[in-house]
Amino acid sequence: MKPTRHIETHRSERVGWLRAAVLGANDGIVSVAGLVVGIAASGASASTILATGVAGTVAGAMSMAAGEYVSVQSQADTEQADLALERRELREDPHTELEELAGIYRRRGLTPELAHEVAVQLTAHDALGAHARDELGITEELRARPLQAALASAGAFVVGAILPVLTALLAPYAYVAQITTVSTLLGLCITGAMAAHAGGASRLRGALRVVFWGALAMGAAAAIGNLFDTHLAG
């Protein structure tokens, strides 16, 4: 009987781009919607509200991309420095490194003899890869990828920001703040549930979590907008 091929797809493989995409989408919705609601509450004109939303989208996407790239690049630099150090130690003192690897496997429950044999076999196959994975915790799936994270974050920010920008463009002027708030909370509910599902968590809990913080942001933006409107009117 021909053996069947077993293929597994783990959610941890998505963690790099998923984190950046979720952060970008939620930030795009909340940040730009907050700007739209705040400016609308201050009594600004429809063109000003729309221009604020578009400018906030462009600036926010660039900021997210730059921040994500710098942050993840710092992690990548640290990983590269650790790998360079490990590569040098393997070249200068391979025996100590072999014993260090065997010690890791002993602490994980293998017998001393088996731990030593596993360390020997893995060292012969890929010494640096074994130390990167089992000593440093660096794996190919979880390696820092700055450009991927930056593009995912910026793209997700723009996608999220489209919702409040379209609301500012299409909603009746008198109800821009109210409609933006409602559409934003619905959008956050959807993105929160999708992100939780992709990560294997409860969709309801994920949705409620982002909706709560989104509602808080909308309330703060509206309060500040009303404050400025009151002062200007006075």
Instruction: Convert the pLDDT of each residue in 187-197 to its tens digit.
Output: 888 888 877 77
Within 8 A by CB and 6+ apart from 20, the residues are: 68, 72, 148, 149, 150, 152, 153, 156
Encode pLDDT of 141-161 as tens digits. Answer: 667 788 888 888 889 899 989
Residue 13 has pLDDT above 80, yes or no: no
Q: Tell me the residue type at 109.
A: G
Per-residue pLDDT band at 57 (split at 50, 70, 90): very high
pLDDT tens, residue by residue, 74-121: 988 988 898 999 899 999 998 999 999 999 999 998 999 999 999 999
Rounded Cα gap, residues 199 and 17, in angstroms = 12
Residue range 50-77: average pLDDT?
A: 91
Separation between Cα atoms, residue 80 and residue 95, nearest integer Å: 23
* Residue 24 in this model has a pLDDT that exceeds 60: yes
pLDDT at residue 6, as a whole number: 46
pLDDT for residue 172 is more than 60: yes
Q: What is the pLDDT of residue 1?
A: 47
Is the pLDDT at 62 greater than 60, yes or no?
yes
Average pLDDT, the chain: 84
Question: 221-226: long-range contacts (C-beta < 8 A, 24 or more apart)?
Answer: 221/33, 221/34, 221/35, 221/37, 221/38, 221/41, 222/37, 222/38, 222/41, 222/177, 222/181, 224/38, 224/41, 225/37, 225/38, 225/39, 225/40, 225/41, 225/42, 225/177, 226/41, 226/42
pLDDT band of residue 15 (cuts 50, 70, 90) is: low
Q: Is the pLDDT of residue 14 over 60?
A: no
Query: What's the pLDDT at 111?
Result: 92
